[in-house]
Amino acid sequence: MTIKFGTDGWRGIIADDFTFDNVRACAQGTSTYLLQNGLAKSGLVVGYDTRFGSAAFAKSVAEVAAGNGLTTYLSIAPAPTPVMSYNIVARRAGGAAIITASHNPSEWNGFKYKPEYAGSASPEIVALLEKHKNAIHSANDVTAIPWHDALQSGIGQYIEPQVPYMEHVANLVDLPKLSNAGLKLSVDAMYGAGARYIPALVGGSKTKIQEIHL
């Protein structure tokens, strides 16, 4: 099928058009883009949200990236898009592929690409991603290796994406001041990837935080 990327990637209905074959094709197109634009040596960050199947889809992306010779950093847990985007900067990676459909309803999922500058992809980059992806006509056009093989060879790595992000936020915001402010907060995580971030940032002292819908 022909896939159209927006500025933040492609979205589809899970098991209808958002399938493993199409996600792998997107991963192959992304890998080809990195290889042809001198970004492959910097590697690819791969993340995902808490939607149905997101972790498995992300693993399949990582297997394709590693199969194409890219150093691949796969998140060990769901993480918000800004967290994964910052990991591009922290690791000086060539970009990030994130399995998420953002605000779309639960039956949707998506393949989001963030370039090496960690923002939204430019129209020029989007056009190249579409070109490379839509040149893939069958599973034979996709190169992948099992993730355990990628880990054993060292080309694949699990990462804790929260760590560099939290360190960066701590440089921007006076977190101890907020933690000692004595606030009482309720945070609705909406079952999403942002769960536990607010308590980790400003909880644990005089400020008390209650999270719901984890």
Tell whether 23 and 124 lie within a shared domain.
yes
pTM of the model: 0.95
Give me the tens of pLDDT residue by residue for the chain, a chain 214 residues long: 778 887 789 999 999 999 999 999 999 999 999 999 999 999 999 999 999 999 999 999 999 999 999 999 999 999 999 999 999 999 999 999 999 999 899 999 999 999 999 999 999 999 999 999 989 988 889 999 999 999 999 999 999 999 999 999 999 999 999 999 999 999 999 999 999 999 999 998 999 999 999 9
* Residue 3, domain member (yes or no): no
DSSP-assigned states of every residue in 141-186: G-----HHHHHHHTSEEEE-THHHHHHHHHHHS-HHHHHTS--EEE
* Residue 2, domain member (yes or no): no
In contact, 74 and 158? CB cutoff 8 Å: yes
102 is catalytic: yes
Relative to beta strand 208-212, strand 72-75 is: unpaired
CB atoms within 10 A of CB 211: 17
What CATH number has the domain bearing residue 29?
Answer: 3.40.120.10
- Predicted confidence at residue 90, as pLDDT, reads 97
| Total number of domains constituting the chain | 2
198: enclosing H helix or E strand: helix 197-202
Tell whether 154 and 177 lie within a shared domain.
no
69: left (phi over 0), alpha (psi -120 to 50) or beta: left
Tell whether 128 and 202 lie within a shared domain.
no
Tell whether 89 and 178 lie within a shared domain.
no
Domain closes at, from 160, 183, 203: 160
3-state secondary structure of 203: coil
- Predicted confidence at residue 163, as pLDDT, reads 95
Tell whether 102 and 196 lie within a shared domain.
no
Tell whether 54 and 111 lie within a shared domain.
yes
Tell whether 177 and 112 lie within a shared domain.
no
Angle at 120 between CA 129 and CA 41, to 5 degrees: 60
Query: Where in the sequence is the domain holding 119, given as residue range(s)?
Result: 10-160
3-state secondary structure of 111: strand
Residue 203 and residue 27: Cα distance in Å, rounded? 38
* Residue 1, domain member (yes or no): no
* Candidate list 42, 102, 186, 205, residue with the active-site label: 102
3-state secondary structure of 116: coil
